[in-house]
Chain A
């Protein structure tokens, strides 16, 4: 079932949580709402579910306006950040809850309920835990039970609030992949909220970046990563270095140094360079490039993380393959020139000054 969000605004006292947010989520897609904490993404998710009401705007589910529809009638599955499992019910009863509270005429027979719950527990690979209580489960298991409970009522839309937020790093990675596989299996339109860019980029079909209650950009993970539409998106995705410079004759200049080719009209600009998009050249002599001094090297994992200090004292972070770095034979205290392979430039608005 498709979701259409039309001009949603929501205010909490003086705080504008959502400001004229619109987007379309086609049927069957897995979409990530990504943004820093407090940007309004969870509020939007709760409005879609009917747990919160928008001051303005509409939510259309499969083309129908839901404004007058109570949360219990929206046929939406919701997975809460802290799972919200019923602690006094067994895992089985938790998953069966949505079926058992149906009005008598819609309620499946108890045998049918048992069959469906069993199938769902098999789907989340936890059928051996049916008689346990939530307090006896690990975080990852609770998460999957919460998902099975939400799916039991065969929702048309699945909403997940920070689904991996409370899990440790390893479990989180496994569950992420598992959720993606599950979605490919059952194909229910899904929206999940996260503040973790890696999570959003890895799992979703499309990413919606939200900043201060407004949509900053919507696109596939590749599109938003490679072509950020705003300085916020460029800054939020990946580890980036920010430069305040000027564009002159298609070159980005920082003071006297030319950094490299940059699109856009002449004038002062904000420039972003990802840490892995630098080349490192020994010495300060090279033409072009930014002179800097190596402050610190962390050489763990596939790439070396290098912290450098520019001549004006600003810090730059660079990541290059460990083997390449070893061949350069550089160490802390050495002088190098930084040459970006790719620069994203955003003209600064305060042009008049």
Chain B
């Protein structure tokens, strides 16, 4: 009695069953090959799309945060160069200066490039809220556009 290993050891004579199997399962096999090729292509395409979308978002966020930072520093510099007539005059601007300093500190501490940072968007909203307060105190219009979806108002 020949052992199964002895049969497969002779490659010159392919097993007729294997040939039939290959023909019979041909459709399945090419489906599998197609699937894994498609999967790999999808992964690559998804990565590219995700990268592009993320980059777009990142640019918007970076621009906003950068704008706010520059805005705050410019105004703070302006206040530092003003010579106040008296203490009363200075105290009138106290809240503005404090809010500007707070805003700059918030932006400085914001981990802009750390995508793993848990409260990224929460902190971003806090910066936006502080920016709105500063704009109100300085009596300038808030120029950051909101790209929010419209919703019903009651």
Does A associate with B in a complex? no
- Point out residues on A near B: beta carbons under 8 Å: none
Residues on B lying within 8 angstroms of A by beta carbon are none
